[in-house]
């Protein structure tokens, strides 16, 4: 079997999340289902433009369709933004290791995410939301540039019913009543469970770097911290070499979710 050959999927819904982020709902053709674990990603092809990797941001309990949310920044993402309902794209996946759910069971979990980084943890948040009793205390810290840039805000409100959620923006507008500032400030302001705690972070490089150093500075161990990394990927199969880290691990195959003690600090970005 040719591992580079995508399956075909139809666009069945498009949601404009923010001025530059759209959520695309896809359904595989021929009644096929995409069974995935929280944290898996897919490669999406726009034939003639190219292929890129995207985190699956819908609930792993829904198999009839799946969603990716895309910020238009490059060729493929701009092409995805031009898609209309009924258009066909190529899909390869699910790829990647996914979150180690067994390591998270009965733990207190703190999720720190910034910007579109929320998409890397949203399948996990759906999982926790659905199986809430399997986990201890769960906190979600989320930061975005402005209130208009809050991605999947309606889902955040849904999760907020049984997950303690703290949202901040860098620059508030007249509608914003919540906190402002960088997301890492919640680590100081919010009481974090003392024991049995796991941190999961996904966001822009600078946020990951700062969060990691801050947590280590607060006395937490690298093995308590999980990072969801983003790298350029051509194949998603551990062949093309583009996503190889400084310790030889592939983000696509060995990751994208890594326990930080498995990483060199320079790669946590």
Partner 1 sequence: MRKIPNEWFVSDDKDFLRSLFKLIKSRGYKVIAPTKKEGRIILDYVNSFDEVEVRYIRTLNTPKHFLFPNGDCLFSWVKVNSDINLKTHVFKEKWAFFGLHPCDANSLVILDKILLGDPKDDIYAQRRRNSLIIIYDCEESDEYCFCESVNARIPIEGSGDLWIIPYKGKYYINPLSGRGKDIVKALNPTPSEPPKIPSQTNKKFYNLSNIGALKYLYEHESWLKHSNKCLLCGACTASCPTCTCFDVLDFVDPSLITGRRIRTWNSCTFRSFTIVAGGRVIRKERVDRFKHRYYHKFVFIPEKYGIFGCTGCGRCVSQCHNRIHPLEVILDVITRGV
- List contacts with partner 1 (CB under 8 A): 1-6, 8, 45, 47-51, 71, 73-74, 77, 86-88, 90, 205, 230-232, 234-235, 237-242, 244, 246-248, 264, 269
Three-state secondary structure along the chain?
Answer: CCCCCCEEEEEEEEEEEECCEEEEEEEECCCCCCCCCCCCEEEEEECCCEEEEEECCCCCCCCCCEEEEEECCCHHHHHHHCCCCCCEEEEEEEECCCCCHHHHCCCEEEEEEEHHHHHHHHHHHHHHHHCHHHCCCEEEEEEECCHHHCCCHHHHHHHCCCCEEEEEECCCCCCCCCCECCCCHHHHHCCCCCCCEEEEEECCHHHHHHHHHHHHHCCCCHHHEEEECCCCCCCCCCCCCCCECCCCCECCCCCCEEEHHHCCHHHCC
The CB-of-146 to partner 1 minimum distance in angstroms stands at 17
* Residue number with CB closer to partner 1 (55 or 197): 55
Nearest approach in angstroms of CB 269 to partner 1 is 8
Q: How far is the CB of 74 from partner 1 (least distance, A)?
A: 6
Looking at the Cβ atoms of 135 and 203, the one nearer to partner 1 is 203
Nearer to partner 1, 6 or 179 (CB): 6
Q: Which is nearer to partner 1, 182 or 240 (CB)?
A: 240
Is 87 or 170 the residue whose CB approaches partner 1 more closely? 87
Shortest gap between Cβ of 198 and partner 1 (angstroms)?
Answer: 26
Minimum CB distance to partner 1, residue 248 (Å): 3
């Amino acid at each position: 079997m040719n591992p580079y050959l995508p399956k075909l999927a139809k666009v069945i819904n498009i949601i404009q999340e923010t001025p530059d982020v759209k959520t695309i709902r896809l359904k595989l053709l021929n009644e096929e289902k995409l069974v995935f674990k929280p944290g898996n990603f897919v490669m999406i092809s726009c034939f003639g433009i190219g292929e890129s990797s995207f985190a699956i941001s819908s609930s792993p309990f829904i198999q009839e369709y799946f969603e990716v949310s895309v910020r238009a920044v490059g060729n493929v993402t701009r092409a995805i933004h031009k898609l209309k309902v009924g258009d066909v794209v190529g899909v390869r996946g699910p790829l990647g290791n996914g979150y180690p759910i067994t390591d998270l069971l009965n733990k207190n979990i703190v999720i720190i995410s910034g910007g579109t980084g929320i998409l890397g943890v949203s399948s996990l948040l759906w999982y926790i939301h659905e199986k809430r009793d399997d986990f201890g205390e769960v906190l979600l810290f989320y930061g975005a540039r402005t209130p208009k840039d809050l991605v999947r805000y309606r889902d955040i409100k849904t999760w907020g019913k049984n997950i303690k959620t703290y949202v901040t923006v860098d620059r508030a507008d007249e509608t914003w009543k919540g906190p402002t500032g960088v997301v890492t400030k919640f680590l100081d302001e919010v009481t974090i469970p003392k024991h049995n705690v796991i941190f999961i972070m996904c966001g822009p490089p600078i946020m990951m770097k700062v969060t990691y150093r801050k947590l280590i500075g607060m006395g937490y161990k690298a093995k308590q911290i999980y990072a969801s990394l983003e790298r350029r990927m051509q194949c998603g199969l551990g062949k093309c070499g583009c996503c190889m880290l400084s310790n030889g691990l592939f983000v696509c195959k060995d990751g994208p979710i890594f326990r930080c003690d498995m990483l060199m600090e320079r790669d946590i970005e």
